[in-house]
Amino acid sequence: MARGSRNDHTLPALLAIAALAVAVRLAFLGERVAHWDEGRVGYDILRYGATGLWEYRPIVHGPFLIHVNDLVFALLGPTDFAMRLVVAGVGGLLPLAAWLFRDHLRPLEVVSVGALLAASPILVYYSRFMRNDVLVATFMLFALGMAVRLSVTGRTRYLYAAALCSGLGFTTKENAVVYVVCWLGAGALLLDTALFRPDAARPTRALLRDRFARARDRIRSAEARRRAGCYAGHLLLATALFVAVLVVFYAPRTAGTGIGFERLASRPGLLPAVTERALSDFWSGIADWGGKSGEESIVERLTDYLPRFLGALVEYAPAISVLAVAGTLGERYFADRPRPIVMGFAYWGLVSLPGYALAMDIWATWALVHVLVPLAIPAGVALGWILETGLDAARDLRAGTGGRRAGIDAALAVAVVVLLLSSTVAVVGATAFDPTNTRTDGDHVVQYAQPNQELRAPLVDLEAVLEETGGPIVYYGEYAIDNESAAHRPPVGDRWTEGEDGPVKVEDNGNWYSRLPLPWYVERSGAEPASAHDREELDALLAEEPAAVVIRADRAGELPAMAGYVRTTVEMRSPGDETVFYLREDAVRAHADPAGEWTPAASETGGNGNP
């Protein structure tokens, strides 16, 4: 149990922190241009909404966002704000998880943990991003918290809450299983520490014999057997709830045919088949994620990714990083009796750092979400100690009993808090709230597939032109694919046939992924895409006066005279990959000024495609 009296202001403080966290995550949420991954998943959701067809694909991770955002788009429309809304809301509620550990933390520590989860720059950035990392971290932290509350109170409602939260966690991303493995590993370390302490008053064997005898006596009592049976029944029901959550999300949608979840209302007899398919897909996703590995050896991966992760923590999460080290060392070596909850979270966070360096197939700072969440507990312990020291010193000064030492303690506490607050605000402002902030090197918090923000204005014009004219949009050269209908039901892939000497590719559609995030914006406008591999195909399509033409900048000189089109050059990635948009000038004029008084601003205008 945590020492110190319970503070009635702890929960109101956490609620205020969570409200502020949600507000911070919602502010200007739709400003940033969609990331490559956001564009791909957003397009998948739009196609699912249009066709009613969906099946789980591990490459996109869990199905939670697919189904939930399909509902969000139906209510709010498919916008960049709407696609990130659920992640922002869930991420903003993450600080409330600290309340579940209140029996093991002091009030100021609980508030400090909540504040760190609310304000850590990497957590803020990826709470404003349609990815699953913040979702799985939040759901699994709540699941663990519910399990802790169950152990403290014995109330079975926490068992069901843990089952629901963990079920949702497993619908977001496959690495939810890593959370469970980390919990088991941390628990084993804590058990070993508890049993094999050199300073223990009794030998370990005697302690184990005593515990075994007490457990045997309890089991023999009728009351214990009754309680065990009751809990077994609740555990069975909670397991059923966990499985039901998986089935609801993982079961395929088949538009009313075959083995589809939507058919259960009229064909309940399909439940066993639907359940089997859902659980099979779920397990295949876990196996697929766990089986991924790069070409590098373990040593190469550690020496490459681990230093970069450490550098990113220092640059983008300095508060949690420094405080977590201080909190872990302080709890381990200076506390009268180290608290298992604090040390368990420290073990979990510390092992996750090299663990994700080994598990990642590409380097990206979103993996650090899974490191920062557990480290927030020992970091909160350190911050809580700083705050408590400062408050005690301030009280002594007001009472006139503190002297010089109290003044120094109060000043240092204020200085540390101001430093943490100012550095956090600066980093959050420079990352999450600066959409023009783009990747400049491999260790940047902004992943390389984030388009340059200068793409936003041309995208507005592009969507307006597509809606005004009804399309189509022509992709030329490296953006062309052999069969546009291959994108009607993701994933977009090549088509092969069996030849005399082995498989022969008959359709090459891989260039579709180079278009991202454009398919998300084009699909929601309702326009049809078309491909032109060469000048002959392009000339045929230009005769139909398409709404737009998209081409790589280094091939723009191949185009004919593009009279009647406005040219804009943008970066489709950050950095590099310059791309040229040609938009029909009459439609751009109508969009910009219905009166017709319009002058191209950022555009390079007309001509044969040359600046």
In DSSP notation, 17-81 reads HHHHHHHHHHTTTT-SPPPHHHHHHHHHHHHHHHH-EE---GGG--SHHHHHHHHHHHHH-S-HH
C-alpha of 534 from chain center: 40
| Strand-strand pairing, 253-254 and 529-532 | unpaired
Q: What is the mean pLDDT of the chain?
A: 86
CA dist 417 and 111 (Å) reads 14
* pLDDT number for residue 599: 44
Longest dimension (CA), the chain: 94
* Highest mean pLDDT, choosing among 369-383, 444-458, 596-610: 369-383
Question: Do residues 562 and 582 lie in contact, with contact meaning Cβ atoms separated by under 8 Å?
Answer: yes
Say whether the peptide bond before residue 575 is cis (omega within 30 degrees of 0).
yes
Tell me which DSSP letter residue 132 carries. S
* pLDDT number for residue 219: 67
Decide which of 363 and 240 is more confident: 240
* pLDDT number for residue 207: 63
Decide which of 175 and 208 is more confident: 175
- In the chain, the percentage of residues whose pLDDT exceeds 90 is 55
pLDDT in tens, 196-249: 765 555 666 666 677 677 766 666 666 666 777 788 889 999 999 999 999 999
pLDDT at 431 over 70: no
Identify the CA nearest to 242 among candidates 273, 212, 282, 215.
Answer: 282
pLDDT in tens, 120-169: 999 999 999 999 999 999 999 999 999 999 999 999 999 999 999 999 99
pLDDT in tens, 453-493: 888 889 999 999 998 888 899 999 999 999 999 999 888 88
Q: Which helix (H) or strand (E) holds 574?
A: none
Q: Residues in the chain, how many? A: 611
**Six-digit token pair at 175?**
């690495």
SS3 607: coil
Q: How confident is the model at residue 68 (pLDDT cuts 50, 70, 90)?
A: very high
pLDDT at 368 over 80: yes
CA dist 79 and 213 (Å) reads 63
In the predicted model, what is the mean pLDDT of residues 557-572? 86
User: What is the DSSP track for 361-419?
Assistant: SS--GGGGHHHHHHHHHHHHHHHHHHHHHHHHHHHHHHHT--HHHHHHHHHHHHHHHHH
* pLDDT number for residue 255: 87
Question: Do residues 139 and 38 lie in contact, with contact meaning Cβ atoms separated by under 8 Å?
Answer: no
Counts for the chain of helices (H) and strands (E), in that order: 21, 9
CA dist 408 and 517 (Å) reads 54
Domain boundaries, the chain: 10-420, 453-592
CA dist 486 and 260 (Å) reads 22
* pLDDT number for residue 202: 60
**Six-digit token pair at 181?**
């493995």
* pLDDT number for residue 515: 94
Tell me which DSSP letter residue 196 carries. -
* pLDDT number for residue 218: 67
**Six-digit token pair at 482?**
């052999």
C-alpha of 36 from chain center: 14
Handedness of CA 382, 388, 393, 397 (dihedral sign): positive
Question: Do residues 67 and 473 lie in contact, with contact meaning Cβ atoms separated by under 8 Å?
Answer: no
C-alpha of 611 from chain center: 40
User: What is the DSSP track for 459-503?
Assistant: HHHHHHHHHHH---EEEEGGG--S-GGGGSSSSP--EEEEETTEE
* pLDDT number for residue 609: 41
Decide which of 446 and 265 is more confident: 265
pLDDT in tens, 493-529: 888 887 777 788 888 999 999 999 999 999 999 999 9
pTM: 0.90
CA dist 459 and 317 (Å) reads 33
Decide which of 523 and 432 is more confident: 523
Q: How confident is the model at residue 588 (pLDDT cuts 50, 70, 90)?
A: confident
